[in-house]
C-alpha cells in the first residue's frame, strides 16, 4: 500500500509536487492544506483542501506524512516556518527524490527535500533539511548544502563547497571548490564566486545589455 501524503500549499510549487509525487514515488496524495486565512477553493488538483489549523484532526499524523511545497519566498523563511509547524504537529516529513537524479551520496538527504530530475549529487556530499534542488544541478563531492536552501537550475557546486542555511542560488551560478557561502546569501543568475561569501551577502551578475543595432539591421543571423 502506498503511503498517504498531505501537501502544504495550493500554488504552482504544490501543483508541481503533486505531479512528481503522483508519478514517481511511493506516496498517494490524499489532500492539500493551507492556513485558513488563505483557504479559497475547497478542491485543488481534484483533492480536498483542509485548513492547516484542523488538518491533524481530519488527517492524523499517525496515518499520514506531509510535504511542504513552497518556494523561496522571504528567503525561504515561509517554507521553513511551515516545515517546522508540520513537524510540531507530529507529521513524518516526506522528501521527493527523482528516480532520474544521480544520487551517489548514500542517501544523505534530509527531510522535505525536493530533488528534481537530472541532478548529480556526488559521493560524500550532504543535503540538509528542507532543500530544493531544481533540475539539472551538479553538487560536487564533499560539499554541504545547509537547511532551508533553494538552488535553481544548472548550478555548478564544485567539490568541498559549504553552503549555509536559507540561501538562494540562482540559475547558472558557478561556485568554485572549497569556498564557504554564509547563511542567507542571495546569489543571482549567472554569478561566478571564487571566494567565500559572508552571511547575508547579495551577488548579482551584470545583465547583458541590448545592442544599439536592431535585429533587422544584422547582416547575418
Residue 91: closest CA among 61, 59, 69: 61
pLDDT of residue 153: 98
Helices (H) and strands (E) in the chain, counts: 3, 22
Give the pLDDT mean for 104-131.
98
- Reported as a pLDDT band with limits 50, 70 and 90, residue 172 is very high
Q: Which residues pair with 202 in a beta bridge?
A: 186
209: pLDDT confidence band, cut at 50, 70 and 90? very high
Residues 6+ apart with CB under 8 A from 124: 105, 141, 142
The pLDDT of residue 2 is above 90 = no
Q: Determine which helix (DSSP H) or strand (DSSP E) holds 6, and give its type and residue range.
A: strand 3-8
Listing DSSP states for 94-115 in one string gives P-EE-TTSEE-STT-B-TT-EE
Look up the pTM and report it. Answer: 0.95
For cell 485558513, the residue is 36
Least confident among 112-121, 178-187, 209-218:
209-218
DSSP 8-state code for residue 11? S
Q: How far apart are the first and last CA of the chain?
A: 57
| Span 23-41, pLDDT tens digits | 999 999 999 999 999 998 8
pLDDT tens profile 84-115: 999 999 999 999 999 999 999 999 999 999 99
Amino acid at each position: 500500500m502506498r503511503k498517504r501524503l498531505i501537501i502544504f500549499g495550493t500554488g504552482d510549487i504544490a501543483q508541481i509536487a503533486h505531479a512528481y509525487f503522483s508519478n514517481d514515488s511511493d506516496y498517494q496524495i490524499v489532500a492539500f492544506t493551507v492556513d485558513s486565512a488563505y483557504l479559497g477553493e475547497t478542491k485543488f488538483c481534484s483533492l480536498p483542501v483542509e485548513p492547516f489549523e484542523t488538518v491533524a484532526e481530519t488527517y492524523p499524523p499517525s496515518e499520514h506524512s506531509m510535504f511542504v511545497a513552497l518556494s523561496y519566498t522571504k528567503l525561504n523563511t515561509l517554507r521553513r516556518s511551515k516545515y517546522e509547524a508540520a513537524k510540531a504537529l507530529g507529521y513524518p516529513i516526506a522528501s521527493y527524490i527523482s528516480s532520474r537524479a544521480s544520487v551517489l551520496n548514500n542517501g544523505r538527504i534530509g527531510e522535505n527535500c525536493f530533488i528534481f530530475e537530472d541532478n548529480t549529487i556526488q559521493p560524500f556530499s550532504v543535503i540538509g533539511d528542507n532543500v530544493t534542488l531544481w533540475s539539472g544541478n551538479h553538487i560536487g563531492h564533499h560539499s554541504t548544502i545547509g537547511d532551508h536552501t533553494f538552488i535553481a537550475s544548472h548550478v555548478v557546486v564544485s567539490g568541498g563547497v559549504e553552503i549555509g542555511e536559507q540561501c538562494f542560488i540562482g540559475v547558472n551560478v558557478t561556485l568554485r571548490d572549497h569556498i564557504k557561502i554564509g547563511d542567507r546569501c542571495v546569489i543571482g543568475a549567472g554569478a561566478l564566486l571564487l571566494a567565500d561569501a559572508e552571511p547575508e551577502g547579495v551577488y548579482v551578475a551584470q545583465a547583458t545589455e541590448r545592442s544599439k543595432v536592431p535585429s533587422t539591421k544584422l547582416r547575418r543571423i
